[in-house]
Amino acid sequence: MPSKVEGWKDEVYGNEIREHLMEFAEKGWESIPEDEQDAWFERFKWWGLYHQRSGQESYFMMRIGTPNGVIKPGQLEVIGEVAKEYASGPAQNPEFGDAYCDWTTRQSIQLHWIKLEDIPEIFDKLEAVGLGTQQACGDSWRNIVGCPVAGKDKHEHVDAWPVAEDLHETFKGNDDYANLPRKWKVAIAGCDEGCGQGDINDLAFEPAEKNGELGFNVRIGGGLSRKEPRLARDLDVWVPPEQAADVAGGMSALFRDHGDREDRFNARIKFLMDEWGPEKMRSVLQEEYVDFELETAGEDMRDQYSYNTGSQDGHNDHVGIHEQKDGNYYVGLNVLVGRMGADDVLELAELADEYGSGEVRLTQRQNIIVTDVPEENLDEFTSEPLLENYSPDPSPFMRGSIACTGTEYCSLSIVETKNRQVRYARWLKDNVELPEDHKDFHIHLSGCTASCAQPQIADVSLRGMKTRKDGEPVEALDIGLGGGLGDDPRFADWVEMRVPADEVPGAIKNLVNNFKDAREDGETFRDFVEDRDEETLAEMVEPEETDYDDPYMHNTKMTWYPYAEDDDMQSSPAPTNGAGEPLTSDD
Amino acid sequence: MTTDVHQLDDGAWISVNDSREVNVSDLWLLARSDFCGCETTDFLAEGFVKVGVDYPDIQARIAGQCISCGESGVTDWLTVGRVVDPDSGEFHGVVHESVHFPEKRTRLASPEE
């Protein structure tokens, strides 16, 4: 029997939701019938709107999908203006203030505190410059990710950007693929560094050569959620760039028809891959969903991958100054936990215009890249005061930090994340010294098992938990080690569980010191972890209180907003009307 | 009226009559449970897997972990609250810090085939 959500989707889904959304927006929050709210909020996701968590009713997170993270000239200014004008809530964040953009691990943008009544104006502003929220959430084609410097990169063999753009244009708003059993995440990259992160996507196109021609090998069924991480499996298919859309369409139609619509927990294609295996998946694709003979896999470039491999050479991320193939440079700026104030976004838009082409790109490590900077502009650009906070040469602990949304806004998260990871990174920078040959050290903090911060592919993986300390419940984290991508991708081993959040920085300090003492010359952290069993590693993680202070040890989920002066759920000003004035529940 | 119960957002919360009533991330004390070997399971709710109504009780099977011993899995049916008067539909949540007794069976909100 189809799930309740499937029933709602059968009634109204896809493009047609917009008409209803606009009508509700025009009439105001209270026009959504109470007994239809759950159904409408589920549907609004398709248009990139996620109702915020308990205590924040009537406010939405808005996600803007920017394929491959490409923000074209003129678009960043509008994103900053929209954030400044509309993404302000009833309370401020102590680290980030009021009105900010979150750059996500899927090269998208998230804004918070969006009011229903403002949505038509926001859509007008975004769409006027070619941006949109369509299918940014919900059960369909999500934002397509890839190498963020596609088309610019010296390591590129196939320019994947036109292919990504074609996939975006073909499958966004396409009624044939609008209602899938669950989300559908696609990655495409043409470089030999592996920065598309295809291994953790539902469908991945990776560069490969066949009969002297460059194209893509296809992998299926990767994903990290729900303590069920999977690496995408080789489908033994190669496609030339011009047939990528045909295979992608065939695969997503196969998922549409064969994915589980009865149990949403079992709906992702990784579970169908578990059941079928790659051979059956390939044969069903061939027989039912494409009208040409599929080629077998070509010769891939995975043995050259360096991205997020912990190898300490090559390209572990896109931070720093790098020459493009046209002789200009791209400057990757570190954005700690991906959050950037609206004023800073507006200033960066001006700088990108002044020193580069005006284009910027988002990475899957929550950072931002200013592209097309001529060599003669580099010194002046990198001397701009803004880059003191968004450095192209940050501490490894700053550049390696990723955090999901957490209990600030998310219903599913167990713990506070963004502000905590900011505090962790600052403390680690001041108190911990990595070996000199370690410039990259990735710490990913995810508030729950949904794994939006991709904890399983970090050197140090942190996942939200609870424990008791002196008998009282406190926020805690599970600690995993040694995850990463590359030719031989590996998920972290969870070695120390339920560590009180205020003891985690001390645990990382002790771990790094133990690693420095015990490593062989030149041994990387990732190799070090791989060569040791969980028990040995657990002994090296010694949780300890330090002078690190954690203001979020209490149950932040029980608050209406964790940083409000009066954070009690009963003090929530939500829901509000279009002017942000609280609505009483008995009117 | 019929009591409408479902879990949403990947099992993040339980909706009762279109009102968000029970959230993940709370600790529940479970007694006489075979969830783990602890005398009392100190259970962290990480996701609502199934929901059901056994009038007047609203029940759920919850995925999570005992934070004392680390055992993880899905509970048997737990009463998370009650709708005493179906006409008003008003939900009264249980105190999750109190001791709860999981049961083997309940009636599903949407019967399985």
CATH number of the domain encompassing residue A163: 3.30.413.10
Question: What CATH number does residue A63 fall under?
Answer: 3.90.480.20
DSSP A288: I
**Are A437 and A443 within 8 A, CB to CB?**
no
Q: Decide if A214 is inside a domain.
A: yes
Among the partner residues B11, B44, B113, nearest to A466 by beta-carbon distance: B44
Closest-approach residue (CA) in chain A for B11: A412
Q: Looking at the structure, tell me whether residues A255 and A160 fall in a common domain.
A: yes
Q: Looking at the structure, tell me whether residues A534 and A442 fall in a common domain.
A: yes
| Structure tokens given for B47 | 């996701």
Question: Which range of residues forms the domain containing residue A503?
Answer: 399-554
Q: Looking at the structure, tell me whether residues A182 and A270 fall in a common domain.
A: yes
Among the partner residues A4, A35, A498, nearest to B67 by beta-carbon distance: A498
Q: Looking at the structure, tell me whether residues A338 and A296 fall in a common domain.
A: no
> B67 to chain A: which residues are within 8 Å by CB?
465-468, 476, 498
Q: Looking at the structure, tell me whether residues A76 and A157 fall in a common domain.
A: no
**If we measure between CA atoms, which residue out of A404, A48, A70 comes closest to residue A224?**
A404
Q: Decide if A275 is inside a domain.
A: yes
Q: Looking at the structure, tell me whether residues A364 and A440 fall in a common domain.
A: no
Q: Decide if A196 is inside a domain.
A: yes
Q: Looking at the structure, tell me whether residues A335 and A367 fall in a common domain.
A: yes
Choose from B16, B41, B46 for mutation: most chain A CBs within 10 A: B46
Q: Decide if A290 is inside a domain.
A: yes
Q: Looking at the structure, tell me whether residues A332 and A259 fall in a common domain.
A: no
- Residue A280's SS3 state is helix
Q: Decide if A448 is inside a domain.
A: yes
Cα–Cα distance for residue pair A232/A400, rounded to 1 Å? 24
Cα–Cα distance for residue pair A555/A563, rounded to 1 Å? 12
Name residues 413-442 of chain A within 8 A of B (Cβ): 413-415
Q: Decide if A568 is inside a domain.
A: no
Q: Decide if A58 is inside a domain.
A: yes
CA distance B12 to chain A (A): 5
Q: Looking at the structure, tell me whether residues A382 and A405 fall in a common domain.
A: no
Q: Looking at the structure, tell me whether residues A197 and A298 fall in a common domain.
A: yes
Residue B67 to residues A542, B32, B34, Cα–Cα distance (Å): 19, 17, 15
Q: Looking at the structure, tell me whether residues A359 and A331 fall in a common domain.
A: yes
Q: Decide if A559 is inside a domain.
A: no
Long-range contacts of B78-83 (CB under 8 A, 24+ apart): B78/B28, B78/B30, B78/B102, B78/B103, B79/B103, B80/B14, B80/B21, B80/B22, B81/B16, B81/B21, B81/B22, B81/B57, B82/B56, B82/B57, B82/B58, B83/B3, B83/B16, B83/B17, B83/B53, B83/B55, B83/B56, B83/B58
ipTM: 0.91
**A–B CB contacts, 8 A cutoff, strictly below:** 79
pLDDT tens series, chain A, 587 aa: 888 999 999 999 999 999 999 999 999 999 999 999 999 999 999 999 999 999 999 999 999 999 999 999 999 999 999 999 999 999 999 999 999 999 999 999 999 999 999 999 999 999 999 999 999 999 999 999 999 999 999 989 999 999 999 999 999 999 999 999 999 999 999 999 999 999 999 999 999 999 999 999 999 999 999 889 999 999 999 999 999 999 999 999 999 999 999 999 999 999 999 999 999 999 999 999 999 999 999 999 999 999 999 888 888 899 999 999 999 999 999 999 999 999 999 999 999 999 999 999 999 999 999 999 999 999 999 999 999 999 999 999 999 999 999 999 999 999 999 999 999 999 999 999 999 999 999 999 999 999 999 999 999 999 999 999 999 999 999 999 999 999 999 999 999 999 999 999 999 999 999 999 999 999 999 999 999 999 999 999 999 999 999 999 988 989 999 999 999 999 999 999 999 999 976 54
Q: Looking at the structure, tell me whether residues A419 and A468 fall in a common domain.
A: yes
Domain count, chain A: 4
